[in-house]
Every structure is written in structure tokens, then in C-alpha cells.
Structure 1
């Protein structure tokens, strides 16, 4: 059964994801707010917000879903060589605000941002609650790449990445993959397939299979304090 639901501010519940539309793929609901409680309920349910500046809040659960299993990230020989040659500093949760702001700027330059000011502030609140995290790549004291996402049990929901120097976002992905393995995560949700993700080993599974995985993994705990601010590589 497919039907588009209009949300109110009175509840943070969502309709079942199998109510999402086929076209546009995965559009499930419209409206509501970007409160931390609603956002966490969305990710817990396999749903994420995605909308442009002038749109109402749109909530999605596409079918199929793009994922990467930690430890199965594809690193080409040329990228591995590049990573060894460019010994950039890599950190966790040192500059979340800067990372999401840079991601917003990149999207604005390329295609019209979906990371609005409201989105920025909502995810910064999630970061302060210990639910949203960032990986940063630095050259000297300059932030040249990074990514951010949401932690839900043993699932990390990747949201966006950016780079100002070639391959810096890919280096952030390598760092994330290694960190997820060390922290006993079992799934990286990359939402929608694109050529960049496909080249790095992403694969598609059905929404049904994704929700089944999520329903188990969201209840599991990861390594304690695994997202404390640290330097992964000097």
C-alpha cells in the first residue's frame, strides 16, 4: 500500500516504510519538524530527510538501499598508494560544525544545497547529544575533507562528505571504514547508490532486507567511547 503521509508537529511517529512511493522512489512523508527526537526516530526506522531550501521537509526510505559492509570498502591500488604518499592528519569529532558547513557549501555550488541552515543546526544538536559524528582530514591546519553521519546501534548512517583537495573525501571514507571495524559496527548505510559509492564497494539491497538488518543491529551496542574526539593519524 502506497500513500504519502503529511506529518504534524504533535507526534514523531512515521508510517511504515512500505507506504513509500515508487515515484519518486522512497518518498514517504512530508512535513513535521527537525527536532532531535524526530530525527533519531527517523534513522531508527530507516528513514532520512532530504529536501531543498524552498521545499517542505521531505522524508525518504528508498528501495533499493545502498550499503557498505565494514571491511569490504574497495580501495584501488592507486588510492592506497595516494594515501601512503599523502600523510594527511585524520581526526574524529574535532570539527563537526565545519564539516557539515563545508558539505553544505559544496552542495550549494554543485546543485543547490539540501543541507539547509535548519539541517545544519539540527545535526549539530545531534552531535552535541552524541549521536552525530564526523571524520576530518587536514593538511597542516586546514580542513580539506571530511564526512558526517548518524550512529544507530551498530549501524552508521552516512549523510554527506566533501573535499577541497583531490581524494580527501576518499581518505575520510577509508578512515571511517577502519574506525567502524575497530568499533564493531556491522553496517554502513549510504542511502542511495551513485558512481562514487559504487567504485568504493557499495552494493544495493532491498528495502525489506535493509529494514530487517536495521531492526537487529540498532539494538546492539558498539565499543564504549568509540566516538570520543581523537587523532587517528598525525
Structure 2
């Protein structure tokens, strides 16, 4: 399968994201209301999570096992990550666009977040966990990492109750495009 990386990145720059339908066919999507994770003081997380963070139960890694994070994100009863989309993510990773932010306990992958970094925008595609709190700690540490790297936008695409616990908020398509355009024109690097 031939994958045109530049066309895919251009789609993300235009505010779209890829998802597979029930038949595994890929298409571009956008949302009438885009969900963002705040990178400022509005970011919050449950007090119960502070214990896991303070106890340093997880080691943090970037791209240690991108393929395993991709597989973990796709391995659920209802998923938008088809085999074809997984292959696209792997190609984007090899080209330096897609990254995984991971939590580990020893040699065991505890959880992770998969996303695409373009300039100062991180577009979160999916997250998963195998060990309780694994993906939540990854979220907190990813926000810290994005702040340190001066990212301007953490796009979570679609709202859900899990993301709301971290202070996620919704913006209009017009506002999202303005934020995205500003973010992708900055010269941040994820790693």
C-alpha cells in the first residue's frame, strides 16, 4: 500500500483527521465542535491520580514502542483504528510525524497516547491502558512535556467524559482553525 505522507499531513493541517468506519474504510472527518486539552492552568486531573504520580509508579518514555501503543489503541471492541490506519500511523512515525507517549512498569507497557505533532500542535489520536492509571499518568506527563516544548495546541478531537476530567473544552470550527494555523506555523519539536 502506497502512503502519501505529505497529503496526509496536509489533511491534518487543514483540520481533518482520519478514522475508519465499521467496514474498515478510511475517510477524513472534522468535528463541529473540536475538543482541546488545555496547556495552561485550566488543565487539571483527579486528586486520586496524584498518588500514582507522586509514587512514581510509572516510567515515562517517548516512542519506545510506537507499534505496541498503536496496537493497544486499536485493540478494543469498538475502534476507529483499522489495520490500514495502523499502517498509516507507522509510516507517519517512521517519517517523524507520529509519536507515542508511554508509561511503563519495568518491561511492561502500562499505557500510552498516540498522536501527530505538526509544529506546535499535538493532535491526539487515541490512548489506552493495560495497567490502571497508565493512560492517565501518560496524559499528565504529556501535558507537562508539551508545555516544556512550548506547544500551543493539544487537540483531542472529540469530547468525552474521560477528557472532561482533565479540563478539556470545546471550541468552534472557526476558533479551532485559527488556533491550529498559529500552532502549526511555530517551530516546536516533539522530541
> What is the aligned partner in structure 1 of residue 185 from structure 2?
219
* Residue 34 of structure 1: how far off its partner (Å): 5.3
> What is the aligned partner in structure 1 of residue 60 from structure 2?
90
- For the residue of structure 1 that corresponds to 2:20, the secondary structure is coil
Alignment of 1:1-234 (within 5 A): 35-52=4-21, 54-71=23-40, 72-105=42-75, 107=76, 110-111=77-78, 113-223=79-189, 226-227=190-191
* Residue 203 of structure 1: how far off its partner (Å): 0.2
8 A Cα contact 2:24 2:82, kept in partner: no
For the residues of structure 2 that align with 1:52 and 1:180, how far apart are their CA atoms? 30
Per-residue Cα deviation, 1:28-51 (whole angstroms, up to 9, x for no partner): xxxxx8532221011110000112
Higher relative contact order (CA 8 A, sep 6+): 2
How many matched pairs?
A: 189
* TM-score where L is the length of structure 1: 0.77
Q: Report the RMSD for the aligned CA atoms in angstroms.
A: 1.5
* Residue 69 of structure 1: how far off its partner (Å): 2.2
Q: Which structure 1 residue ranges, 4+ long, deviate > 6 Å from structure 2? A: none
* Residue 87 of structure 1: how far off its partner (Å): 2.2
For the residues of structure 2 that align with 1:161 and 1:56, how far apart are their CA atoms? 21
The structure with the larger Rg is 1
For the residues of structure 2 that align with 1:202 and 1:163, how far apart are their CA atoms? 19
